Amino acid sequence: MGVEMELLDDFDEYLEHLCGALGHADRNAGLMDYCRGLMLPIERKSVEPLAAHTDPLHVRSKHQSLHHFVADSDWSDKAVLGRIRDWVIPALGIEDGCYWIVDDSGHPKYGKHSVGVAHQYCGNLGKTANCQVAVSLSLASERGSVPIAYQLYLPKEWAEDAKRRSKTGVPAAITFATKPQIALAQVQAAISAGVLPGVVLADAAYGDDTAFRDGITALGLPYVVGIRPATTVWAPGVEPLPPKTWSGRGAQPTLLRRGPGHEPIAVKELAMSLSPDQYANVTWRDGTNAALTSRFACLRVRPAHQSRLATTVRPEEWLLIEWPAGDEEPAGYWLATAPSDATLDQLVFVAKMRWRIERDYRELKQEFGLSHYEGRNWRGFHHHATLCIAAYAFLTDHRLTHDDSKKNCTEPKTFALPPDYVPRGRPASATSRAEFHPDSPPRNRASHRQPASSMPLLRPVRQV
């Protein structure tokens, strides 16, 4: 009973912390009730079921107030996400290793009227389908991870359709941007907010975008990003030819050239040309049932994208290759701007940190209703997602602060408010908790600001 009471007190303290970002006190009840509803073990977490379970005696009026709060009320998602970030950072322990994970999430959707819906690739389904797609940036450590930015991708046909934009409330400032461009803006915003710098991780949808990689480097951050098998690089010892000799007439040639023996190679072809002794088995973490181990190789290369228009060669980067034993061909490729003395096991460890976002999205969708919002407008989509992240972040913080990080790597049970819990301000029923006292003093939370120079960007693991 004491543990439950402490948990409920912490949750109320957390919600009050988030309410500080809403701007008006009359919005506080909406945030608190919505987040409490998201914590309940109910199958559907759209506005109507949340209203029915948070105030069953006044479902219609509660539905109207929750709908207004999430779909119409003008509060800032970025401000609330900033409060979420500040609350959970001390528990993550990012000063011992910080990672910024870029990803996107698909939300299958029927019809064509919900903001941003289009026939596009949906990662949730693993195929092209009618869906909405949102780009996110998550802050991660070895202990856990939480999204700190979340924005709907607006397809070009939507961005250029004034009628649909107006009908769904797309802000005038939102113009067409690719997913890598959205992600880069999220990274820039995190830097501006003073978040501790980390290694940027992303899959091939972002890693194959040269402008994205160049943008991350320009911001002073290292990256380990996936690339596709056909991506080309300059193999070790192979470089483009210098510019043509100037004839003395016209403009002096500046473009590097290709020729026999001076051509880039696809990373898949390069990987399959390596000798077996260039691969080694690496274990990067303990899985649910067994240690996760595979076969890897790494070598220094130079990216070759757009090298036909280049005047200088790109700096060397690491190419990391995964080729599981027994498979006919490699399973994954990454480019990394890690230091030249980085080890194979360090590169593998960092590349595989991206798995955390998969777990985050699974729980956000299955347990917190991330894809359950039924409204059609821009504001409601983002407000609902922000509140889902708020609920998930509290669960993450609770696990970590109660030394439950080991269980955090497996399938955890979702925290839910007790069935007899009465939200603050609601009339108590016969089964209410008479001993529930929400006004506990705030706990001390350590500052998350740490000098960037103290952060180890790569963490070692064992090589076998």
Cα 22 to chain centroid, rounded: 23
Both tokens of residue 14?
């957390």
Both tokens of residue 417?
């408010």
Tell me whether residue 83 is in a domain. yes
Q: Are residues 100 and 184 in the same domain?
A: yes
d(CA 348, CA 282): 8
Q: How many CB atoms lie within 10 A of CB 249?
A: 6
Give the residue with greater pLDDT, 391 vs 454: 391
CA 402 to each of CA 3, 91, 399, 408: distance values in angstroms, whole numbers, following the listed order: 11, 10, 5, 11
Q: Are residues 153 and 286 in the same domain?
A: no
pLDDT at 39: 94
Lowest-pLDDT range of 142-146, 256-260, 360-364, 405-409: 405-409
CA angle 30, 417, 86 (to 5 degrees): 60
Both tokens of residue 105?
């999430």
Local structure of residue 144 (DSSP, 8 states): -
d(CA 216, CA 157): 28
What band does 249 get if pLDDT is binned at 50, 70 and 90?
A: confident
Give the residue with greater pLDDT, 41 vs 2: 41
pLDDT at 410: 34
Tell me whether residue 175 is in a domain. yes
Q: Are residues 169 and 300 in the same domain?
A: no
Give the residue with greater pLDDT, 214 vs 306: 214
Q: Are residues 27 and 174 in the same domain?
A: yes
What band does 99 get if pLDDT is binned at 50, 70 and 90?
A: very high
Q: Are residues 158 and 290 in the same domain?
A: no
CA 26 to each of CA 15, 141, 173: distance values in angstroms, whole numbers, following the listed order: 14, 36, 27
Select from 278, 302, 336 the last residue of a domain: 336
What band does 411 get if pLDDT is binned at 50, 70 and 90?
A: very low
Q: Could you list the residue range(s) of the whole structural domain that residue 324 is in?
A: 226-238+255-336
pTM for the structure as a whole: 0.84
Q: Are residues 64 and 170 in the same domain?
A: yes
pLDDT at 33: 96
What pLDDT, in 10s, does the model give residues 195-229?
999 999 999 999 999 999 999 999 999 999 999 99
Please provide the size of the chain in residues: 464
Average pLDDT over residues 322-335: 96
pLDDT at 306: 63
Tell me whether residue 172 is in a domain. yes
Tell me whether residue 76 is in a domain. yes
Give the residue with greater pLDDT, 446 vs 142: 142
Q: Are residues 64 and 200 in the same domain?
A: yes
Q: Are residues 328 and 390 in the same domain?
A: no
Select from 276, 307, 336 the last residue of a domain: 336
Average pLDDT over residues 337-352: 95
d(CA 17, CA 21): 8
Tell me whether residue 415 is in a domain. no
Q: Are residues 37 and 138 in the same domain?
A: yes
Beta partners for residue 104, in sequence order: 135
The percentage of residues in the chain with a pLDDT greater than 70, rounded to a whole number, is 84
Tell me whether residue 423 is in a domain. no
Select from 302, 336, 370 the last residue of a domain: 336
Average pLDDT over residues 232-242: 86
d(CA 442, CA 119): 47
Number of domains forming the structure of the chain: 2
Residue pair 420/432 in contact (Cβ under 8 Å)? The answer is yes
What pLDDT, in 10s, does the model give residues 382-399?
999 999 999 999 999 999
d(CA 193, CA 395): 24
Q: Are residues 202 and 272 in the same domain?
A: no
Q: Are residues 144 and 102 in the same domain?
A: yes
In terms of phi and psi (left: phi > 0; alpha: psi -120 to 50; beta: otherwise), the region of 422 is beta
Q: How many CB atoms lie within 10 A of CB 417?
A: 20
Q: Are residues 183 and 37 in the same domain?
A: yes
Residue pair 389/395 in contact (Cβ under 8 Å)? The answer is no
Tell me whether residue 429 is in a domain. no
pLDDT at 308: 60
Q: 389: buried, middle or exposed (CB in 10 Å: 19+, 13-18, 0-12)?
A: buried
SS3 string, 403-459, reads CCCCHHHCCCCCCCCCCCCCCCCCCCCCCCCCCCCCCCCCCCCCCCCCCHHHCCCCC
Residue pair 208/221 in contact (Cβ under 8 Å)? The answer is no
Tell me whether residue 446 is in a domain. no
Tell me the average pLDDT of the chain: 85
Beta partners for residue 137, in sequence order: 102, 149
